[in-house]
Structure 1
Amino acid sequence: MSHFIQKILAGLVLFSLTCLANQSISVNSPTPSPLAQELKLQHGDLIFVKASQSSFDKAISQATQKDEVSYTHIGIFDLHLDSVLEAEPKQGVVRKKLEVFLKENPHFDIMRLAPKVAKNVDIQASIKRAEKHLGEPYDFTYTANNGAMYCSELVYEAFLDTKGRHIFSAKPMNFYAPDGTLPQYWKDIFNKLQKPIPQGELGTNPNDMARDKVLIQVK
């Protein structure tokens, strides 16, 4: 093989490697959408939705609110696809474009893993774990390992540290209002499901999760 042909082949190999490297950079470091840039969102950020006036939100707030601000829903931001992974009552576990999610949930706060926690969490692996639940129905029974997911359960199961441990804490669940009464919403739901209310069983909710020390609020 002539020296000239060898130089051409070497140049082609170098060009191919450069293209692959550039493609890898493009995949691993996507450019945020204008909306994501405006909100300064990062890959794996959690979007906490504030309570609305729906009966569902009121029931959650009555049972879990401890601070002035009450959260009733959470979504996981995926920077690579400019989208939010969520488990919501009407559709179950779905992916929605960021713009659509925020249009449906206009009142929100953005939270992020604290740096000391983030260094032990593979965010992309967490996103992949959440994606595995796409298509599952919403978990109206609020119980574990039943092929269905509620919003904070999706976050809880997705975010593990590099040793496979949950980074959020599960706590005894409460469905009763501060005055000790059970909201009609929960009565109707569990009567329809013919399931016992999992009062006191370990689980999660957006308000407890928002107060967890593994998170910091960024917006």
Structure 2
Amino acid sequence: MMIPHYFKKRWLLSYLFIFFISCTNQQNKVTTISFKDSIALQQKIKINLVELQSIKATIQAGDIITREGNDFTSQSLKKLNRRDETFSHIGIANIENNQLYIYHAIGGEWNPNQQIKKESFETFTNPIDNNAMGIYRFNINPIAKQYFIEKAINFYQQKIIFDLDFDLKTNDKMYCAEYVYKSFVQSKNNELTFNHSHIKQFEFIGVDDITLHPQCKNILLYVYK
């Protein structure tokens, strides 16, 4: 299986960054990643890409897709979850023209305009930046699910930006779990209610407030090899 150009580019940048750091330590000692290690890394990426393509075929429109990022920010954010710290980020799957996309609210360097993103499944779940991913599915009727998807796309079309304040009361900015939550509760004929998490006086929706909902079923949890 050929590794997509996107992953080749990201892997090369990561490799060069590590190489540069290792070559500029305080003692000016030259330390490089071995050829054997680089081949092993490429092989792990290849294995995970094959697994992800198999997983992709099981996803339905309206599914909730989660991931655990391997960066410091993701590892910190997942600890905000009050009941389940498995995942740090969450998005909504939709199938358009036979292509699977994930809609999600994200900030940071990978999203300079801060607007809700529409990304391919491959980009959202890429094995370079993530440790694990999951699929969750709500047991709601098809019409309600379609309204949910339409509301999520409507927020995307409004170019809602990422909420750095994590303020659940505002609707012009949203963070990832808030985006999924409000796509449900603000869609037509919604009958779902969600648990709200609290840290002292701070009220928010965590990723686990979505995934642990009584009508939400875990379809798959994949930990990258």
| TM value normalised by structure 2 | 0.60
Q: Structure 2 regions of 5+ residues with no counterpart?
A: 1-51, 221-225
Q: Deviations over 1:130-160 (max 9, x none)?
A: 1222222210111122411100111111124
Aligned: 1:71 with 2:71: no
Query: Aligned pair count?
Result: 156
Q: Which stretches of structure 1, 4 residues or longer, exceed 6 Å deviation after superposition?
A: none
Alignment CA distance shift 1:109-1:66 (3 Å): same
CA contact (8 A) 2:197 2:206 kept: no
Q: Distance in 1 between matches of 2:82 and 2:69?
A: 10
Quick one: which of 107, 110, 113 aligns to 1:89? 107
Q: Deviations over 1:98-132 (max 9, x none)?
A: 11111154621100012xxx127522221221122
Correspondence list, 1:43-58, <5 A: 43-54=61-72, 56-58=73-75
Q: Distance in 1 between matches of 2:207 and 2:121?
A: 19
Q: Which residue of 2 aligns with 1:164?
A: 190
CA contact (8 A) 2:138 2:217 kept: yes
Q: Distance in 2 between matches of 1:121 and 1:145?
A: 27
User: What secondary structure sits across from 2:182 in the alignment?
Assistant: helix
Identity, % of aligned positions: 18
Correspondence list, 1:115-126, <5 A: 118-119=140-141, 122-126=144-148
Q: Distance in 1 between matches of 2:155 and 2:179?
A: 8
Alpha-carbon shift at residue 36 of structure 1 (Å): 7.2
Quick one: which of 141, 155, 164 aligns to 2:165? 141
Alignment CA distance shift 1:89-1:95 (3 Å): same
Quick one: which of 149, 170, 188 aligns to 1:127? 149
Q: Distance in 2 between matches of 1:106 and 1:61?
A: 13
**Root-mean-square deviation (CA), in Å?**
2.6
Q: Distance in 2 between matches of 1:153 and 1:162?
A: 17
Aligned: 1:61 with 2:78: yes
CA contact (8 A) 1:170 1:202 kept: no
Alpha-carbon shift at residue 64 of structure 1 (Å): 1.9
Q: Which residue of 1 aligns with 2:135?
A: 110
CA contact (8 A) 1:168 1:209 kept: no
| TM value normalised by structure 1 | 0.62
Q: Which residue of 1 aligns with 2:45?
A: none
CA contact (8 A) 1:48 1:71 kept: yes
Alpha-carbon shift at residue 95 of structure 1 (Å): 0.4
Alignment CA distance shift 1:61-1:40 (3 Å): same
Task: Give the letter for the 1:87 counterpart.
Answer: A
